Amino acid sequence: MTRHLRFHDARTEAKQALDRHIEILDNIKKHCIVGNEEKDEFLYLMAIPVIYAAWEGFFRISCSICLRRKFHVDRKLKAYEERYSTLWLQQEGFVNSFFDKLFNSVSLGKKPKKINDGRYAALTKFAGDIKAWLERPANHLTNFDDLVMTHSNINKEVTILNADIIGLDLKDVQLGRLDDLVGQRNNIAHGGLIDYPKENTINELMEYAEKLLNDFHASVAQWLKTS
């Protein structure tokens, strides 16, 4: 059962996550750059998805720690900020059912009628479901990693979305090259790569990723102090 994450435990877990993923970056540098005496560009290529994986894994764990820090076992869902409780709401079956009924009651391309029995019935059922849902505590069996909004690659937009949900201050986190890292990773994954990357490109991505992890961790650490 998940319980409220105390500050000391949260700080320790966050630091462990940083150290573990910085070690991954160090291993990439060791095997693909420092130990790559023949300048094998295929090793440079293989470094890119692992650099991205280090960022995604670190990001997911760090955000999950923050979400667990905000969680209280007996607190009712209506007592949380909407942006936080909605993480649970979007997993509820009655929400998907409401959307399905709503869409089925709409005629695409036609102006909706003022009175629509289907929409009214769907909304009535949803109103009852949400009223009961708000009076319950959040599910303590939830896997908090799954609550992190990683519906796509962790690019700048997704990073900001999750930071807003938690309340992280990203003013000192440089996200400018994150979309470039994601794009290069996707090119490899989806067969869009034409040329092998050069050593200087991998060095730059490595330096950026390491700074990104450290700066994001600093933001998380500061948030934990005040949460």
Segment 102-123, tens digit of pLDDT: 777 666 556 666 666 777 888 8
Residue 115 has what pLDDT? 60
pLDDT tens digits, residue range 168-216? 999 999 999 999 999 999 988 877 666 889 999 999 999 999 999 999 9
| Mean pLDDT of the chain, nearest integer | 91
pLDDT band, residue 53 (cuts 50/70/90): very high
101 CB neighbour count, 10 Å cutoff: 16
Closest CA to 177 of 209, 145, 137: 209
Domain boundaries, the chain: 7-73+141-226, 78-134
Residue 1 has what pLDDT? 57
State the DSSP code for 173: S
**Which backbone phi and psi does 137 adopt, to 5 degrees?**
-75, 160
Closest CA to 216 of 57, 85, 88, 80: 57
CA distances from 133 to 47, 55, 102, 126 (A): 46, 35, 20, 10
pLDDT-above-90 percentage for the chain: 78
pLDDT higher than 80, residue 100: yes
State the DSSP code for 203: H
Q: Which CATH class is domain 7-73+141-226?
A: mainly alpha
